[in-house]
């Protein structure tokens, strides 16, 4: 959702989004790991979930940190490129460079190993039809829904959010209406960065904390965004679900090694039938 | 003209999109608050460029412009709009993915208070829009979109409205309706400056007309003078030699 929002409002295909997830993941890891424990944030466990207050603090730190990082990048890189008349392609290549740099810094600090937020085995409970779900996964689904609802509220119910949509729709007219589009751009990077960090922590919770975990999700992420209709947050949510489920279900019939290709098969088929994505609207 | 002071005055005005390449040269123009002034002329004459320059949307300008007696040369579009100028570009003049009401909210983005009341007032001027404020702008017809674009520009209570070819993409029936709506807005005390391709129809509703050719002011006169002038008729209103324009043909209904 963060990726599609940034594209919709800013016209930037942000290849660094996956590594922003990575940074969110590791900032939270820093808080809950032994370094964080020295600061007194690590402890606690909520009911049957695998984590406690430490990770809540970690999520907040991650969201603020990645939002701040995104702001700095807008000011130092994207704003300059925009002022110099940069096109979509220029933004994409710049963000690809940023992506590589960000990933390298994570690897430099934390190395190439895998980590977990909380060690130990966290058993799954069985729900309907023999499907096993971990308590953490319920939590992740809940947080995702909450984030989607909050994003909807921001975009459709607040003055700032409506100005974001107006800027995405028609930047020239937005500016002529007195909307400070630079402020809107900063705001969009903040929201996009926070969503990336949140997604990164959830990914770390669900799988493992690894320097390239966010990056490895980048291509399926783009697939989800394109599927949903680029620039459409609800489409992205649905596209993400579709891509994820299709990948897992496909292993019933095909070799697991081919799984990463599934999203793109779906994208090709959908785009052939609906060039603007499933929920893209004609202008 | 009497000795009242103009709402807008443009003096020795030149400008263009690139420094050094002038599109309009040395234009002089006055607009009074109780007037509709229509700028006509062939394609590429610099009509729209002049309008953009007046609302501060042109990158390069030389000369002076005054609005309500104040020197506003070099002012940006948001600043002009905040000070009482409404501007409706020819294309891309509404937020297509947003509802009618949201478009008006964005038009009133700079308002400190009374947003809700003003939306009510503006909607009351456009019955077509008032019926369905939640409709997305992309679903509106060309004429309705143009109405919405004007409604959006009226959100900040402008004293002057600049319209860039408001009837350009409309069917003849919708053109007449839109022009009469512009006249109604004018009667609420808004000075109107518009650029028009459909010159005959627009001049019928105008107090004055101004002809631009090659970036310069070629002629200026009352709407009636323009409509009946054989020279203007031949060159810009598509009339044949000897074919005059009678006022009955184009009278305000």
Q: Which residue has the higher pLDDT, A230 or B213?
A: B213
B135 and chain A in contact, CB less than 8 A: no
Q: What is the interface pTM, i.e. ipTM, of the complex?
A: 0.84
Q: Which of B106, B112, B161, B164 is most worth mutating to test chain A (most A CB atoms within 10 A of its CB)?
A: B106
A-chain residues within 8 Å CB-CB of B56? none
Query: Which position has the token pair 């729900």?
Result: A127
Listed residue (B228, B172, B188) closest to B33, CA to CA: B188
For residue B71, what is the enclosing H or E element?
strand B70-71
The Cα of A154 is separated from the nearest Cα of chain B by a number of Å equal to 14
Q: How far is CA B25 from the centre of its chain?
A: 20
Q: From the candidates A158, A166, A176, which should be mutated to test the interface with B, based on the most B CB atoms within 10 A?
A: A176
pLDDT at A98: 95
B contact test, residue of A157, A178, A183, A233 with most B CBs within 10 A: A178
Here the tokens at position B252 are 């305000």
Distance from CA of A179 to the nearest CA of B (A): 7
SS3 state of residue B226: helix
pLDDT band for A41, please (50, 70, 90 cuts): low
**% residues pLDDT > 90 (chain B):** 67
Chain A touched by B59 (CB under 8 Å): no
Predicted confidence at residue A146, as pLDDT, reads 92
Size of interface A-B (CB pairs under 8 A): 63
- Evaluate if residue B57 carries a pLDDT over 50: yes
B147 vs B125: CA distance, rounded Å: 10
In chain B, what residues touch A161 (CB-CB under 8 Å)?
none
Q: Is the pLDDT of residue B249 over 60?
A: no
Asked if the model's pLDDT at residue B116 lies above 50, the reply is: yes
Amino acid A43: pLDDT:
59
pLDDT of B59-107, one tens digit each? 888 999 999 999 999 999 999 999 999 999 999 999 999 999 999 999 9
Q: If you search the block for the tokens 């520009």, which residue do you land on?
A: B153
Residues in chain A, overall count:
283
Residue range A176-212, pLDDT digits in tens: 898 999 999 999 999 999 999 999 999 998 888 888 8
Band (pLDDT 50/70/90 cuts) for residue B1 is very low
Contact of B78 with chain A, judged by CB distance below 8 Å, is answered with: yes
Tokens of B227: 């409509």
Domains of chain B, earliest start first: 8-236 (3.40.50.300)
Q: Is the pLDDT of residue A26 over 70?
A: yes
3-state secondary structure of B162: strand
- Cβ contact B107–A177 (<8 Å): yes
Work out the pLDDT band at A39, boundaries 50, 70, 90.
low
Task: Give yes or no for residue A69 having a pLDDT over 70.
Answer: yes
pLDDT in the model for residue A37: 62
Interface check for B65 against chain A (CB to CB < 8 A): the answer is no
List pLDDT tens digits, range B191-248.
999 999 888 889 999 999 999 999 999 889 898 888 888 877 777 766 655 454 544 4
Q: Is residue A2 over pLDDT 60? A: yes
Element (H, E) at B194: strand B191-195
CA pair distance A2, A22, nearest whole angstrom:
14
Which neighbouring-strand residues pair with B65? B10
* Residue boundaries of the structural domains of chain A: 2-211, 216-283
- What DSSP assignment string belongs to chain A? -HHHHHHHHH----TTHHHHHHHHHHHHHHHHSHHHHHHT------TTSS--HHHHHHHHHHHHHHHHHHHHHIIIIIHHHHHTT--HHHHHHHHHHHHHHHHHHHHHHH-S--B-SS-S--PPEE-GGG-EE-HHHHHHHHHHHHHHHHHHHHHHHSHHHHHHHHHHH-HHHHHHTT--HHHHHHHHHHHHHHHHHHHHHHHHHHS-B-TTHHHHHHHHHHHHHHHH-TT-HHHHHHHHHHHHHHHHHHTTTS-GGGGGGHHHHHHHHHHHH-TT-SS----
User: Who among A162, A163, A283 is closest to B138 (CB)?
Assistant: A283
Residue B189 and residue B159 in contact, taking contact as beta carbons nearer than 8 Å: yes
Among A7-16, A90-99, A161-170, A223-232, the minimum mean pLDDT is found in A223-232
CB B88: neighbour CB atoms within 10 A?
25
pLDDT attached to residue B3: 56
What pLDDT, on a 0 to 100 scale, did the predictor assign at position B248?
47
Average pLDDT, chain B: 89
Q: Tell me: the pLDDT tens digits for B9-50?
A: 999 889 889 888 889 999 999 999 999 999 998 888 899 999
SS3 (DSSP) at B242? coil
Strand partners of residue B217? B212
Mean per-residue pLDDT, A93-111? 93
Confidence of residue B129 (pLDDT cuts 50, 70, 90): very high
């Amino acid at each position: 959702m963060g990726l599609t929002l940034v594209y919709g409002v800013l016209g930037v295909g942000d290849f660094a989004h996956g590594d922003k997830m990575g940074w969110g993941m590791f900032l939270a890891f820093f808080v809950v790991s032994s370094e964080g424990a020295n600061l007194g944030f690590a402890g606690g466990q909520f009911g049957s979930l695998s984590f406690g207050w430490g990770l809540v603090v970690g999520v907040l730190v991650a969201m603020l940190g990645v939002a701040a990082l995104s702001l700095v990048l807008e000011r130092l890189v994207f704003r300059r490129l925009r002022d110099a008349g940069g096109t979509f392609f220029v933004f994409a290549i710049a963000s690809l460079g940023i992506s590589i740099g960000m990933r390298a810094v994570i690897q430099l600090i934390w190395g190439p190993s895998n980590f977990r937020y909380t060690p130990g085995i966290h058993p799954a409970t069985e729900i309907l039809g023999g499907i096993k779900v971990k308590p953490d996964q319920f939590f992740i689904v809940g947080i995702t829904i909450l984030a989607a609802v909050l994003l909807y509220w921001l975009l459709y119910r607040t003055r700032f959010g409506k100005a974001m949509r107006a800027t995405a729709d028609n930047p020239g007219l937005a500016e002529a209406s007195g909307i400070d589009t630079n402020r809107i751009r900063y705001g969009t990077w903040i929201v996009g960065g926070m969503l990336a960090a949140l997604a990164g922590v959830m990914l770390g919770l669900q799988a493992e904390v690894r320097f390239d975990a966010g990056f490895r999700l980048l291509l399926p992420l783009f697939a989800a965004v394109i599927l949903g209709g680029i620039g459409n947050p609800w489409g992205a949510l649905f596209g993400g679900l579709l891509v994820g489920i299709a990948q897992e279900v496909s292993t019933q019939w095909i070799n697991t090694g081919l799984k990463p290709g599934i999203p793109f098969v779906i994208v090709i088929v959908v785009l052939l039938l609906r060039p603007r994505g499933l929920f893209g609207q004609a202008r | 003209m009497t000795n009242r002071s103009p709402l807008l005055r443009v003096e020795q005005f030149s400008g263009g999109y690139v420094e050094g390449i002038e599109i309009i040269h040395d234009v002089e123009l006055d607009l009074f608050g109780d007037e509709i002034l229509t700028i006509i002329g062939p394609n590429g004459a610099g009509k729209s460029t002049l309008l953009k320059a007046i609302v501060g949307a042109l990158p390069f300008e030389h000369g002076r412009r005054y609005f309500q007696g104040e020197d506003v040369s070099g002012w940006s579009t948001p600043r002009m709009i905040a000070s009482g100028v409404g501007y409706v570009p020819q294309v891309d003049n509404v937020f297509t993915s947003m509802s009618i009401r949201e478009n008006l909210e964005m038009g009133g983005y700079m308002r400190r208070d009374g947003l809700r009341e003003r939306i009510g007032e503006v909607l009351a001027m456009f019955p077509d829009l008032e019926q369905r404020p939640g409709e997305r702008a992309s679903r509106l017809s060309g004429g309705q979109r143009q109405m919405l674009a004007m409604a959006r520009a009226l959100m900040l209570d402008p004293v002057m409205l600049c319209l860039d070819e408001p009837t350009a993409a409309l069917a003849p029936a919708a053109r007449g309706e839109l022009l009469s709506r512009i006249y109604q807005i004018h009667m609420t005390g808004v000075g109107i400056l518009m650029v028009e391709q459909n010159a005959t129809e627009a001049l019928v509703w105008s107090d004055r007309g101004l002809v631009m050719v090659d970036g310069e002011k070629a002629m200026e006169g009352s709407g009636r003078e323009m409509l009946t002038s054989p020279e203007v008729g031949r060159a810009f209103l598509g009339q044949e030699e000897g074919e005059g324009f009678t006022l009955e043909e184009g009278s305000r209904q």
